[in-house]
Amino acid sequence: MEILVRKGIGLILLLFAVSAISFMLVHLSPIDPIQAYVGADMIRVSGEQREAIMHYWGLNDPPLLRYWSWLSALVSGDLGTSMVYRRPVLEVIGERFTASLVLMGAAWVLSGLLGFVSGVFAAMNRNTWIDNLVRWYCYTLSSTPTFWIGLLFMLVFAVWLGILPVGLATPAGIASDQVQWMDRLRHMLLPVLTLSVTGIAAIALHTKEKLIEVMNKDYWLFARARGERGFTIFWRHGLRNVALPAITLQFASFSELFGGVVLAEQVFSYPGLGQAAVEAGLRGDIPLLLGIVLFSAVFVYTGNAMAELSYRLIDPRMKKGRRS
């Protein structure tokens, strides 16, 4: 209970700081929100019309007053109205986050499993071709941008082989209620694959180093002396010791995952929260941008909190150590 209260207070302070800094940065940005709002028809907008638009969206008010108004509405659960989508911000975020959550969830599970298994195999076969292959793969992909991987997959699987769609979440020209789940799955594959392969490196290298440390412990050497080998010795003496750091690292990777999904959705034109964030930033949609920033902060903070809570849940020694 104590840790939940502490985490709750920390989250409130974090959201306040993030919202204030984000509002200041958006206010100081060179993007004209009126021009971004009107678009190509800006040359036809008269001075009176421009003033009317600024008055409608409250852009004539001083920055502190605008921030205070936004903050007061936030307390009552109102994130404002999006200037781009002309809909409540909460409604836009909820719709877009559902699409992004499927991508991030699938990529998070896939990269975690593949990274953990790769790290275990590399450690158990240290200084062999398997270890060299995993290390080469991790070092190469850890220095490769997500958007470049996405473009490469698009070129290979969509353009050359033609077995997967180029982008979007559903086939073009088909109503959403007529789209089959198989079509949605095919459109998800390339973004999920892009996010997964770039997320394997960290968990694989971390798991390998932790398992090598365990393999040098006395209880591991004693178990080998008793004749235990392969999967048996790993299951009895290695899994729990390397699973805890791997779970913690995977939960803490929510920030990298969210950053990656922004780029992946841009590359594949996937209508998720990342694409909405880019559009809000480029078109000066302050209410939507602040809403997405707050939502992403909650998302990342929740991931870190879940990592800490899961560690305490799986390893009761942490609770005992704290009480003693």
Tell me the pLDDT tens digit for each residue of 228-254. Answer: 888 888 888 888 788 878 887 887 777
| Complete DSSP assignment for 49-63 | HHHHHHHHTTTTS-H
Whole-model pTM over 0.85 = no
How many angstroms separate the CA atoms of 301 and 255, rounded? 9
- Residue 324: is its pLDDT beyond 50? no
Residue type, 201: A
Mean pLDDT lowest among 42-56, 63-77, 93-107 = 42-56
Instruction: Report whether 199 contacts 246 (CB < 8 A).
Output: no
Q: Dihedral (C-alpha) 305, 21, 17, 75: value to the nearest 10 degrees?
A: -100
Of 94, 244, 86, 270, the C-alpha closest to 190 is: 270
Residue 41 CA to residue 256 CA, distance in Å, equals: 38
The mean pLDDT of the chain is 81
**CA distances in angstroms from 272 to 29, 213, 250, 277, 280, listed in the order given:** 24, 41, 22, 9, 13
| Residues forming a β-bridge with 81 | 88
Alpha-carbon span 261 to 256, nearest angstrom: 9
CB of 31 closer than 8 Å to CB of 284: yes
Query: According to DSSP H, which parts of the chain are helical?
Result: 2-28, 33-38, 47-56, 63-75, 89-124, 129-142, 146-153, 181-215, 218-225, 230-237, 239-251, 254-267, 273-282, 286-314, 317-323
Per-residue pLDDT of 115-168, as tens digits, reads 899 989 888 888 888 888 988 888 887 777 888 888 888 889 888 888 888 877
Residue 258: phi, psi to the nearest 5?
-65, -40
